[in-house]
Amino acid sequence: MAPIIPKRVCAEVEGELVLFLIGMRLNRPWKLHRWLPVLRAMPRMLRELEAQPELGLLHHRTHVGLREAMVVQYWRSHAQLDAYATARERAHLPAWRAFNQAIGTNGDVGIWHETYLVGSGRYESVYVNMPPFGLGRAGALQEATGPRATGRGRLAATAGAEGGGPMAGAPQGGTV
């Protein structure tokens, strides 16, 4: 387990990034034979991506609930995400085809994803008394002091210029 960082830090990623959320829902949990293959497919894909960082996955974290599972993924670019999703020799496309063949739209298992393209200066973060987490695992951690002490300052820093970015000229506030 990563050690706790006992101070305020924030995450910065060079350039743009992609936030990709993907998940599944057990609509008919008693149909184990339907949802278990779907559940097993994601760890195979994540192992493949971890073993080959050049494919573009920066970091991922899995969240599991009673009937739902979600993986938060940070990617270097949408082009790399799309290339992975459509590559015949990678784990995703065969799993997608198997899902459509076995389940399709019969309602047994729900799957979903959301893709967010995040430009430089369009995100900010803060972590206090946390180990490296989320975007902080995908990028580099910086002390959240000086210009990075406020949300506006962190937005400006992720845009690449202290005091610039999308919030330049806005009144300074008490964003965490």
Give domain limits for the chain: 17-118
Whether pLDDT at 163 is above 60: no
Strand partners, 50: none
What pLDDT score was predicted for residue 120?
A: 85
Displacement of CA 20 from its chain's centroid (Å): 5
- pLDDT tier at 174 (50, 70, 90 boundaries)? very low
**Residues in CB range of 51: below 8 A, 6 or more apart:** none
Averaged pLDDT for residues 112-119: 96
Print the SS3 string covering 2-63. CCCEEEEEEEECCCCEEEEEEEEEECCCCCHHHHHHHHHHHHHHHHHHHHCHHHCEEEEEEE
Fold of 17-118: Alpha-Beta Plaits (3.30.70)
Report the predicted TM-score, pTM, of the whole model to 2 decimal places. 0.85
Q: What is the CA angle 81-166-145, rounded to 5?
A: 95
> Sheet of 5-12: strands edge to edge?
127-130, 5-12, 140-143
